[in-house]
Amino acid sequence: MNGVIKNAKVYENGTFVCKDFPLTAGGIVSNFNNLFVFPAFCDVHVHLREPGFSYKETIKSGSLACAKGGYTDVCSMPNLNPVPDSKEHLQIQLDLIEKNAVINVHPYASITVGQRGEELSDFENLKHAFAFSDDGRGVQSENLMKEAMIKAKQLDKIIVAHCEDNSLLHGGYIHDGVYAKEHNHRGICSESEWKPIERDINLAKETGCKYHVCHISCKESVELIRKAKADGVDITCETAPHYLVLTDMDLKEDGRFKMNPPLRSEQDRLALIEGIKDGTIDMIATDHAPHSAEEKSKGLEKSAFGIVGIETAFPVMYTFLVKTGIITLEKLIEIMAINPRNRFGLKSNGYTMWDLDKKFTVDTSEFLSMGKATPFENYELYGECKMTVQNDTIKYIKE
């Protein structure tokens, strides 16, 4: 049964207009004083764990969680088994997506065979892949990354880089904050992130390749990317909600605070916010990375890297960036829905409805994702997704 939302606040052409909004997908939504309708969100960095690690997450459970978070397009990273480094391996994932995905899932092909950083994947036979990434591992060889960029340029594909210099990991630390010491969490130094970015910017300038940087977390990365954009390099980047809200001073001896890159200093957090405000940082991505409860139960030192975030991303950003006046709601929609699609050539074919007055406490038992490890557990947030629609079909509705 179709219906109409009276006096909805609808995002159109960069602003909000008050109008009646038709529910062409059916369903009944009523009794709202502050209902907003946005283009559905797009996340270019999620881990859906299938094939190979379905005990952590499945394409079905992960895509259901995405729909609840207001997303109709997500891009799944290649740290799977088998790694999508050939047409045959990629097809295994595509078949699972076709069978089980609730929303659009766009799989990355890996840059290198097995993500081992030793030889390039079969780029030519993977040219129909969404883009190329070795996320979870940095490509250590400058020559191999240059070769990858040349291939990607020929195919008009984007290289999406997890920037991490392995030679700087041992003995690294987050910062000298007391919490980092108390909790015995040996983090990953900022230089291990920004040094590869510096290298890759020069390679992207030389090759003309489209280049995108995953989950930047430190002030040096922001400044390097800002300068590269000014120099005309074809570069974009993302950061994640936890880096914009939390710092190393928020760490607790709990696996739900362990992610890669790690939480950094207040200076880094403020630099990231400035990067959001001035357009240096193009988009918000969650790096949704579910693990089993057992894998996340070993404290900061021994738990697996990765947290979940797809179901809380918009409420966290709305609560801490919009309601505090740091950015406008229009800007948040731009970096969560518009910019990711523009950069990666994904068409919007859905919308999501939110009650922004709704206040709730994060309760991981209510997550649709199989992963429950989030640093925002028990946080009070604003914004509840009421419905997500794609191709006039309801993908999620709040009962």
Active site (catalytic) residues: 287
Alpha-carbon distance of 289 to 201, in angstroms, equals 27
Q: How far is the C-alpha of 398 from the C-alpha of 381, rounded, in Å?
A: 17
Query: Nearest Cα to 109, choosing from 99, 124, 60, 96?
Result: 124
Cα distance between residue 47 and residue 167, in whole Å = 25
State the chain's maximal CA–CA distance in angstroms: 61
Cis upstream peptide for 290 (omega within 30°): no
Amino acid at 246: L
Helices (H) and strands (E) in the chain, counts: 12, 14
Contact criterion met (CB below 8 Å) for 354 and 385:
yes
Dihedral sign, Cα of residue 347, residue 349, residue 355, residue 359: negative
CB count in 10 Å sphere of residue 126 = 22
DSSP secondary structure code for residue 31 in this structure: -
In angstroms, rounded to a whole number, what is the distance separating the alpha carbons of residues 75 and 83? 15
Instruction: Supply angle C-alpha 194, 201, 135, rounded to 5.
Output: 65
Q: Which residues contact 316 (CB under 8 A, 6 or more apart)?
A: 241, 245, 309, 376, 379, 381
Kindly state the helix (H) or strand (E) to which residue 213 belongs, with its residue range.
Answer: strand 210-213
Residue 44, SS3 per DSSP: strand
d(CA 287, CA 258): 13
